[in-house]
Copies of this chain bind each other. A is one copy, B any other.
Amino acid sequence: MTDQSSPPLPLSGIRVVDLTRILSGPFCSMLLGDLGADVIKIESPGGDPVRQQGHKVNGLSWYFAVFNRNKKSVELNLRNPEGVAVLERLLADADILTENFRPGVLDKMGLTEARLREINPDLIVVSVNGYGSTGPYVDRPAFDFIAQAMSGFMATNGTPATGPLRTAPPITDLVAGLYAALGAVAALRGRDAGCGAQRVESSMMMSMLSMMAYLSSNALATRRDPVPTGNDHPIASPYGLFRAADGDIAVAPSTEIIVRRFLGELGLDHLLSDPRFETNEMRLRHREVLNHLINEALASDTQDNWIARLNQAGVPSGRVQSMTEALADPQVAAQQMVLQVPHEGRGTVAMTGFPIKLSETPLQVRHPTPELGADSKAVLRTAGLSEAEIDRLIETGVLGTGEDAPS
């Protein structure tokens, strides 16, 4: 679990000073840490608010634990100029600064672009925010629900009956964090290749807008809005949720050939010579009758058997799994997507694993999520501060070691 015993990872040796909190930024810095960077999470006194969110086991939020693995924690008061001076010392040796303040907050802290260049001309500054750092909404506070609403996403999620529907996962935070991580690693590679250091930015609203795929390209081409269609595919039939003997299965035949295989597997080949179902267009018109006939045929066997048979025949099919079912899925186990991470004093924490698989340098949890301020002293020592300086910063409340933090 230490850097010393681990093989080199793609970002080994890269130092990230991480001012982010809550979600979009911490996801970005988690990805950098997962890829091998040394991430120093700077937390305000009291710590990242997410330490207090989500379900806790032995006093530790498992929500916080997954997004802050592979990081160290320094508890530092940046409202105190001495705290900012410590931050500047850390930045002098860093490769990347990550932050997800509202645009302008870093400037107010004295860390203007010019000042940062002075401290470290090779520093890559990565910002994640709500709407971008220019434009009419630059000063607006950001929140996932609002970015879902403004990006056009919510209006396409749902059914005509529900109207615009928020999705449960904080998807705009996460997509923005993922884009920021990609931008950060690209900027690192660019710096190696002679592009110099640069500022990298992503925003929640624009990141989500970029994920609208054919919904946005069709809207641009036709100037018409898509209609929310729920589980029905707007232009394909059969498609959707169907009913096996013991529960629903999702089926998505993607081409005419696969539709034939699907109906063939069900013993319904004859339907394709029925004028009502001969073409996709006709099937869309008679979707209800067709779905009824399919459900009748599916009633003869179980979910698991149909799913096995259909996939065998090349027809994409699967269960609608609840969260706990998905986490217990044998494929999820085979892909090591639930990790058991021992945390000193907190027991073993279960968390989702690494969706990026690297053959030679597989990702791993090198550090479990740090206790607040656990690395304050060690990090400052490495930055060259003396024990006396460190003690004074602790006494004056600039540096915290988490010992009096709530848990």
Contacts and interface: CB of A to CB of B under 8 A. Distances in A.
A175 B356 CA distance: 11
Given A215-B323, A239-B145, A254-B143, A188 B189 contact: yes
Contacts of A359: 198-201
A316 B205 CA distance: 13
A322 B152 contact: yes
A328 to B, nearest CB: 10
A200 B8 contact: no
A267 interface: no
Interface in A140-196: 140-147, 149-159, 161-162, 164-171, 173-176, 178-183, 185-190, 192-196
A224 B152 contact: no
A135 B197 CA distance: 41
A350 B55 contact: no
A366 to B, nearest CB: 15
Interface string A120-131: 000000000011
Contact of A141 (B178, B314, B361): B314
Interface string A75-118: 00000000000000000000000000000000000000000000
Number of copies: 2
A145 B335 CA distance: 20
A390 interface: no
A279 interface: no
Interface in A241-292: 241, 250, 252, 254
Contacts of A158: 158, 162, 165
Given A149-B320, A169-B215, A179-B356, A8 B194 contact: yes
Contact of A200 (B147, B193, B195, B357): B357
A222 interface: yes
Interface stretch (A10-18, A379-387, A392-400): A10-18
B167 A157 contact: yes
Contact of A321 (B12, B140, B152, B210): B152
Given A152-B327, A181-B182, A190-B361, A212 B169 contact: yes
A335 B171 contact: no
Interface residues of A, number: 154
A216 B11 CA distance: 27
B200 A189 contact: no
A156 to B, nearest CB: 4
14 contacts: A8-B194, A132-B335, A134-B334, A140-B311, A146-B318, A149-B250, A154-B250, A158-B158, A161-B162, A171-B211, A179-B356, A190-B358, A199-B359, A201-B356
A404 interface: no
B55 A218 contact: yes
Interface string A199-230: 11111011101111111111111111110111
A83 B64 CA distance: 51
A189 B192 contact: yes
Given A54-B217, A185-B185, 14 more contacts: A62-B217, A62-B218, A67-B213, A132-B335, A134-B334, A146-B316, A159-B165, A173-B213, A183-B357, A201-B359, A206-B355, A217-B352, A219-B323, A220-B352
